[in-house]
Amino acid sequence: MSDLGRRLRVAATATVAVLLLAGTLVGSDVWFPVGPFRMFATAARTTGRVTAAELTGVTADGRTLAVRPGEVGLRRAELEGRLPQLRAEPALLGELVGTYERLWVEAPRLVELRIDVRTRAVVDRRLQASEDVRTVARWTR
């Protein structure tokens, strides 16, 4: 092993260590991959409410079907992260319908797409049966 190679490896290791320390002490999650990863660093409350957004499509004959975010080119976190924008501009759901129809040619044509937010209570880490479902954005053809 050459002296130069050893010095480069030590310098690279020290740089990464400093970045990780800085990310942990003053960084935020947007500093990925050297941020503090707060979402994994704390425990969830054992009693509270769990909220999840979901896409619901309606076909021309009135059938409703669950549309997974991946079926419109999104991940679930992206859907939930864009909720404020989609609430403010429900016409953007029409773009998701266009993506759905391009990706799933054989699927029934959607005349409506809505975002439903489902909220369920958790008591002592047990999911309760009752739930509240609210439609927060709707696009119709």
What are 8-56's pLDDT values in tens digits?
A: 999 999 999 998 888 888 887 777 788 777 666 667 778 989 899 999 9
Q: Based on the domain organization, do 58 and 30 belong to the same domain?
A: no
Q: Based on the domain organization, do 110 and 70 belong to the same domain?
A: yes
Q: Which of 11, 26, 41 is the last residue of a domain?
A: 41
What pLDDT score does 61 carry?
A: 95
Q: What distance in Å separates the CA atoms of residue 35 and residue 11, rounded to the nearest whole number?
A: 20
Q: Based on the domain organization, do 68 and 116 belong to the same domain?
A: yes
Which residue in 34, 40, 42 sits closest to 17, CA to CA?
A: 34
What pLDDT score does 39 carry?
A: 60
100 exposure class (CB count in 10 Å sphere: 0-12, 13-18, 19+)? buried
The tokens for 38 are 């707060």
Q: Based on the domain organization, do 105 and 73 belong to the same domain?
A: yes
Query: Pairing state of beta strands 110-123 and 64-67?
Result: unpaired
For residue 69, is the peptide bond before it cis, meaning its omega torsion is within 30 degrees of 0? no
Q: Based on the domain organization, do 102 and 60 belong to the same domain?
A: yes
Which residue in 53, 67, 77, 61 sits closest to 134, CA to CA?
A: 53
The tokens for 1 are 């092993």
Q: Based on the domain organization, do 62 and 119 belong to the same domain?
A: yes
pLDDT digit string (tens) for 84-141?
999 999 999 999 999 999 999 999 999 999 999 999 999 998 888 888 999 999 999 9
What pLDDT score does 89 carry?
A: 96
Q: Based on the domain organization, do 37 and 56 belong to the same domain?
A: no
What pLDDT score does 28 carry?
A: 78
**Domain enclosing residue 14, as ranges:** 3-41
Q: Based on the domain organization, do 102 and 135 belong to the same domain?
A: yes
Q: Based on the domain organization, do 32 and 98 belong to the same domain?
A: no
What pLDDT score does 41 carry?
A: 64
Q: Based on the domain organization, do 94 and 113 belong to the same domain?
A: yes
What pLDDT score does 50 carry?
A: 87
- The domain total for the chain is 2
**Sequence-distant (≥ 6) Cβ neighbours of residue 37 within 8 angstroms:** 29
The tokens for 92 are 């953007």
What pLDDT score does 23 carry?
A: 84
The tokens for 130 are 């009752």
Q: Based on the domain organization, do 54 and 104 belong to the same domain?
A: yes
The tokens for 25 are 């002490």
